[in-house]
Amino acid sequence: MAEIVIRNLRKEFGTFTAVKESSFTIGNGEFFMLLGPSGCGKTTTLRMIAGLELPTSGEILIDGEDVSQKPASQRDIAMVFQMFALYPHMNVRKNISYPLVSQGVPRAQVQAKVAEVARILGIESILDKPVSGLSGGDRQRVALGRAIVRNPKAFMMDEPLGALDAEFREHMSEELRALHDRMGATTVYVTHDQLEAMQMGDKIVVMNHGVVEQFGTPQEIYDHPATLFVADFIGSPSMNFLRFQGSFRPGDRAVTLGGVTMETPELQAEAGARDLVLGVRPEHVTLVDSGAYRGRIIAAEYLGTTQIVTLDTSHGTIKARAPAGQVARVGETVGMTFRAPTLALFDAGSGRAFRTSANAGVHHG
């Protein structure tokens, strides 16, 4: 198993820059998520780590060794593709043993290893079947088997659950995570599904337009988004943004918007008068009559345990996650309070979060 270090990685396709100066470190044995919308450069980054694309510049270190210009076959990593890429002209057993055969492993050892992998994945009964007739889940298991049979330094997974239906995806993601915990293998996992990333990952890198927006644990990324993009991309419904004009100085513990003073974590930066964005997650908005900041209810969606109440305020619409039992009548004007320690303040121009006492330790991309 290995630690993977990415330093100033850059990839250009002609005039298009797919990945711009990305840097992050994937710890030994981590389940690492590359998250972002399609076209953000996450798959390109994965393919560069795997050796299927060569970077334009920058370094990729696997276990301290710079492999950035080496072919895939010399990197000792395994990959699971979105469409599985099982060799269609071979049966399950041959598919799984293929990576070992390429290394010239003796036949008896190959057989033993394939049997062991099949047992781990619970696919002993389909070993001699052709891959064409298999269900999505079994194909996925065979693809995993082909990856783990070789004990590689790291696993690359390119949206491995993307081709499965929703119900099965849930089951498979648990299986994957359990397999990872058991093997302790460094895993790099590409997904555009923020829920999947939060659910499975030890660490997440959020990418957008080829740039690393933020890098951290799921909690850090959810609680303290480094940019407006991350705040918007993670969470459902996503973070509310209240746009206002204002200024603050280090040590301030509140900002004023629309004449209402909002308590915030202690601000550590300075900003002259400019366009600012106050970010608050729906679950940190409480509807109370005493609240100084007011809005008119325009919709309420009942979700069982909670409800999502949409309010129209002087700074745009706000969604609040309220207990299902709370009465919220459309058309009524109510007050609300925000939980101060959870608030984030962004520069509307650059989209970056200002340093506060709350997000001080968070890695910004």
Closest distance of CB 144 from other proteins, Å: 13
Interacting positions 108-167 with other proteins (CB under 8 A): 146, 150, 156
Of positions 57, 65, 69, 83, contacts other proteins by CB under 8 A: 83
Q: Using CB under 8 A, pick the residue from 89, 119, 274, 339 that binds other proteins.
A: 89
Both tokens of 239, joined, read 């973070």
Distance from the first to the final alpha carbon of the chain? 26
- Indicate whether 46 belongs to the interface with other proteins (CB under 8 A): no
Type of residue at 332: E
Distance CA 315, CA 277 (A): 10
CB of 300 to other proteins, least distance (A): 44
- Looking at the Cβ atoms of 75 and 315, the one nearer to other proteins is 75
Candidates 69-77, 219-227, 251-259, 289-297; binding stretch for other proteins (CB under 8 A): 69-77
Among 34, 60, 79, 257, binds other proteins (CB under 8 A): 79
280 neighbors 239 (Cβ within 8 angstroms): yes
Select the span of 78-86, 160-168, 248-256, 313-321 touching other proteins (CB under 8 A).
Answer: 78-86
Pick between residue 75 and residue 180 the one whose CB is nearest to other proteins: 75
The encoded tokens of residue 234 equal 């993670």
168 forms part of the interface with other proteins (CB under 8 A): no
* Cα dihedral: 61, 65, 69, 72 (round 10): -90
Beta bridge partners of 6: 24, 60
For residue 285, give both structure tokens. Answer: 């908005």
C-alpha distances in Å from residue 260, one per residue of 240, 244, 333: 17, 11, 16
Residues 6+ apart with CB under 8 A from 65: none
Residue among 81, 232, 266, 351 that touches other proteins (CB under 8 A): 81
Residue 261, interface with other proteins (CB under 8 A)?
A: no
Q: Least CB distance from residue 83 to other proteins, whole Å? A: 6
Q: Are 324 and 235 spatial neighbours (Cβ–Cβ below 8 Å)?
A: no
Q: How far is the CB of 173 from other proteins (least distance, A)?
A: 21
* 40, 50, 206, 207: which one binds other proteins (CB under 8 A): 50
Measured from the Cβ of residue 266, the count of other Cβ atoms closer than 10 Å reads: 15
For other proteins, which residue of 98, 111, 217, 313 counts as binding (CB under 8 A)?
A: 98
For 13, counting Cβ atoms within 10 Å of its Cβ (0-12 exposed, 13-18 middle, 19+ buried), the class is exposed
Q: Which of 99, 145, 235, 295 binds other proteins (CB under 8 A)?
A: 99
> Tokens 């979700």 map to which residue?
303
Separation of alpha carbons 7 and 25, rounded Å: 8
Nearest to 105 by CA among 150, 50, 167, 144: 150
Least CB distance from residue 98 to other proteins, whole Å?
6
Q: Using CB under 8 A, pick the residue from 15, 38, 73, 236 that binds other proteins.
A: 73
DSSP 109-135: HHHHHHHHHHHHHT-GGGTTSBGGG--
Nearer to other proteins, 79 or 297 (CB): 79
105 binds other proteins (CB under 8 A): no
**Binding site residues, other proteins, CB under 8 A:** 50-52, 71-73, 75, 77-79, 81-83, 85, 87-89, 98-99, 102-103, 146, 150, 156
